[in-house]
């Protein structure tokens, strides 16, 4: 590859200096705009400061922050200075922060926009150089020198700075749904290829001359957002990037951005739908959507209420999206396609081409992107090779070697089926398959997708290793939970769940049928350790939490019961 990510960035600095790149909320409905000239100018000054610390080339510099303009400025400063980024999820505990900083041998840390910094700070080694972003917590700004002060007193690095394709751009620590986080090594060559592929995909979907706006809110510490929002935007150059302020202001933040390209994860697509249903019952909405002309007006109003009325293409990734949910958004007129990728391939693998017959279908994750090779192993495991492939797990050569086939394909750990045109369906994770006492393997994901199609289900998990049959834990929808204190509403909800159980059991093989639905009393959250920072369920943690109760559930012999 001749053009790497910094080549694009420095071209935009030269050619688009006065163009607004970032729009950052600062609280109270206020925003600050940053132009390309300001963004790269501040990054050059911060890069010079990092070099003044005497760090060796390739040293790891960490970022602990929610998404904000200075996260990307800091990453550019790290790259321009000759270093490697280690981004840490902003919700991680002090213990995990300490592990990642130690394992990566990070030499410095940017502390940014955070909700729980006092609890996280003990994970930062004493004496580690730290720099506070403008939106950092007050405690961090008190203890560390601030970004603005450093930039104000430091002369910028000058000239056309380059990095080698084989140099390490970033270590991405996986969110750790099982075991200790692994450090995925991504070079400038691999990341630049993936970012360019994502930018090209967006350009083809949105159109060359359309206004381009995105909102960055999924964690930038995760590969999905890093490639498809940050990377693609750095390559493409004409897109304005907006950020979210708080969870409470999120819908207003989206409405401010009115994105033309929007990506999300299944849990949030589901919550958006449930938010709509809390204002209009599903049956009424369906009736209105079927009425000519009025249906289109209603659909447009629903999308405008979510801030998505200007979206030309929407994508979902990170976990399986229930087919019924995709169909619901398509009925609203939102062009929503599912994709598939992993941290190990910089999240560039498969995408749904909605405009190509046979290249998109609800329940399938699309076809391979240009340059991606795919095949299935004899066991049905999806194997992938691409120029965006990672170069190994940091300090884990044995695991790296075991993760590739002899001919260089990455073993994804996902099971799938493919059509002749390459359309791929993920049927489950190999590690998630489990046997009941009936002796046959059960794949949780397809059954979970059927349960998640119900508007009163927020999240669920199918389990039952070694039991007489599988069971499912179900988290009631957010709008339902406060109503469950009312005995009548509770009884009605239990009836809905019993009907759901009967319907799902009628759609799956006999050995996949569920013995019961167990209703969770509390939602699964990132803070409780039951969700990853990208809102995937942590199966092992949830199973450990409920292990003492499982035998009692089976002994009760009820189709629906409470955990």
Instruction: Give the model's pLDDT for residue 150.
Output: 98
Closest residue by Cα to residue 314 from 279, 357, 273: 273
DSSP 8-state secondary structure symbol assigned to residue 63: E
Confidence (pLDDT) at 176: 53
Domains of the chain: 37-187 (3.40.50.980), 261-309+311-427 (3.40.50.12780), 433-562 (3.30.300.30)
Torsion, Cα 172 177 180 186, to 10 degrees, reads -20
Structural contact between residues 423 and 217, judged by C-beta atoms closer than 8 angstroms: no
pLDDT for 509: 86
Residue 249 in contact with residue 303, Cβ under 8 Å?
A: no
Q: Are 533 and 426 in contact (CB under 8 A)?
A: no
| pLDDT score at 322 | 84
> What is the pLDDT, as a whole number, of residue 214?
96
- Mean per-residue pLDDT of the chain: 92
CA gap 489, 476 in Å, rounded: 12
Residue 498 CA to residue 469 CA, distance in Å, equals 17
- pLDDT, residue 342, reads 93
At 373-429, the pLDDT tens digits run 999 999 899 999 999 999 999 999 999 999 999 999 999 999 999 999 999 999 888
CA gap 90, 73 in Å, rounded: 17
Closest CA to 157 of 75, 76, 44: 44
What pTM was estimated for this model as a whole?
0.86
- Which portions of the chain are predicted below pLDDT 70? 1, 175-179
Tell me the backbone φ, ψ of residue 419, rounded to 5 degrees: -95, 165
DSSP 8-state class, residue 531:
B
Q: Which pLDDT score is estimated for 300? A: 94
Per-residue pLDDT, 537: 87
Which pLDDT score, from 0 to 100, does residue 441 have? 81
Residue 122 three-state SS: helix
- Which residues share a beta bridge with 192? none
Query: What is the token pair recorded at 252?
Result: 């207003």
Which residue shows structure tokens 């002994």?
A: 555
Closest C-alpha among 516, 491, 495 to residue 505? 516
98 CB-near residues (< 8 Å, 6+ apart): 122, 123, 124, 125
- For residue 320, give the 3-state DSSP assignment: coil
Show Cβ contacts of residue 510 under 8 Å, excluding neighbours closer than 6 positions: none
pLDDT score of 207: 81
Closest CA to 374 of 313, 426, 430: 426
Q: Is 87 helix (H, G, I), strand (E, B) or coil?
A: strand
């Amino acid at each position: 590859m001749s053009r790497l990510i910094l080549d694009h960035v420095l071209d935009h600095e030269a050619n688009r200096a006065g163009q607004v790149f970032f729009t950052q909320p600062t609280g109270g409905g206020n925003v600050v705009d940053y132009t390309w000239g300001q963004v790269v100018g501040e990054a050059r000054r911060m890069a010079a400061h990092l070099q003044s610390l005497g760090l060796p080339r390739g040293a790891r510099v960490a970022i602990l922050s929610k998404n904000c303009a200075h996260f990307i400025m800091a990453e550019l400063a790290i790259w321009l200075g000759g270093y490697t980024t280690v981004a840490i999820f902003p919700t991680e505990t002090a213990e995990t922060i300490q592990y990642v900083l130690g394992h990566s041998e990070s030499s410095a840390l940017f502390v940014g926009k955070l909700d729980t910094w006092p609890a996280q700070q003990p994970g930062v080694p004493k004496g580690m150089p730290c720099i506070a972003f403008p939106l950092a917590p007050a405690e961090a700004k008190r203890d560390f020198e601030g970004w603005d002060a450093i930039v104000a007193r430091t002369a910028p690095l000058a000239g056309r700075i380059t990095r080698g394709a084989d140099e390490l751009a970033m270590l991405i620590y996986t969110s750790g749904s099982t075991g200790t986080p692994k450090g995925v090594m991504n070079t400038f060559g691999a990341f630049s290829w993936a970012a360019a592929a994502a930018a090209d995909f967006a350009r083809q979907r949105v159109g060359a001359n359309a206004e381009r706006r995105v909102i960055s809110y999924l964690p930038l510490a995760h590969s999905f957002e890093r490639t498809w929002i940050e990377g693609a935007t750095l390559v493409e150059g004409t897109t304005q990037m907006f950020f979210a302020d708080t969870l409470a202001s999120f819908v207003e933040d989206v409405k401010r951005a009115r994105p033309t390209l929007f990506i999300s994860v299944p849990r949030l697509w589901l919550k958006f739908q449930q938010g709509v249903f809390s204002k209009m019952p599903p049956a009424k909405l369906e009736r209105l959507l079927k009425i000519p002309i009025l249906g289109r007006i209603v659909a447009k109003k629903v999308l405008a209420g979510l801030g998505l009325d200007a979206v030309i293409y929407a994508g979902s990734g990170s976990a399986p999206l229930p087919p019924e949910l995709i169909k619901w958004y398509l009925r609203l007129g939102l062009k929503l396609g599912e994709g598939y990728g992993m941290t190990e391939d910089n999240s560039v693998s498969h995408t749904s081409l909605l405009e190509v017959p046979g290249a998109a279908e609800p329940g399938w994750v699309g076809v391979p992107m240009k340059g991606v090779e795919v095949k299935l192993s004899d066991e049905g495991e999806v194997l992938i090779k691409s120029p965006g492939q990672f170069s190994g797990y940091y300090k884990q050569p044995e695991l790296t070697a075991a993760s590739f086939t002899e001919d260089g394909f990455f073993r994804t750990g996902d099971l799938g089926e493919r059509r002749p045109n390459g359309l791929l369906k993920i049927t489950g994770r190999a590690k998630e398959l489990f046997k009941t006492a009936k002796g046959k393997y059960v794949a949780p994901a397809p059954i979970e997708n059927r349960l998640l199609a119900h508007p009163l289900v927020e999240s669920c998990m199918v389990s039952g290793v070694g039991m007489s049959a599988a069971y499912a834990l179900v988290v009631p929808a957010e709008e339902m939970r406060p109503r469950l204190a009312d005995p009548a509403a509770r009884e009605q909800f239990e009836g809905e769940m019993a009907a759901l159980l009967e319907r799902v059991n009628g759609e799956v093989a006999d050995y996949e049928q569920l013995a019961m639905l167990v209703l969770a009393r509390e939602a699964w959250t990132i803070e409780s350790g039951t969700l990853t920072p990208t809102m995937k369920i942590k199966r092992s943690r949830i199973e450990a939490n409920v292990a003492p109760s499982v035998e009692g559930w089976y002994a009760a012999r009820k189709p629906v019961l409470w955990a």
